[in-house]
């Protein structure tokens, strides 16, 4: 397990857009990806400033609630 802050998915949804990649800097409240859940486009935000160390999502993938979308250090 990598050290850092995990960004978890708050609900079941399908990834419709990934805005960041591993190595990208990210700021608190910046959008990492969008999910589609219950016909809504749901942004997934970073909760910290840092760099994306790990990204566990691909467009079209269905993620379950609690899935670690990214790790930021």
Give the per-residue SS3 of the chain: CCCCEEEECCCCEEEEEECCCCCCEECCCCEEEEEEECCEEEEEECCCCEEEEEECCCCCCEECCCCEEEEEC
Domain boundaries of the chain, sorted by first residue: 5-72
Give the pLDDT confidence score for residue 2 in this predicted structure: 58
pTM over 0.85: yes
CATH class for the region spanning 5-72: mainly beta
Give residue-wise pLDDT tens across range 27-66.
Answer: 999 999 999 999 999 999 999 999 999 999 999 999 999 9
């Amino acid at each position: 397990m990598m050290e850092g802050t995990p960004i978890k998915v708050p609900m079941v949804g399908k990834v419709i857009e990934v805005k960041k990649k591993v190595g990208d800097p990210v700021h608190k409240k910046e959008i990492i990806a969008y999910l589609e859940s219950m016909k809504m486009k749901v942004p997934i935000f970073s909760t910290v400033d840092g760099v994306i160390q790990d990204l566990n999502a691909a467009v079209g993938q269905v993620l379950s609630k609690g899935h670690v979308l990214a790790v930021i250090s």
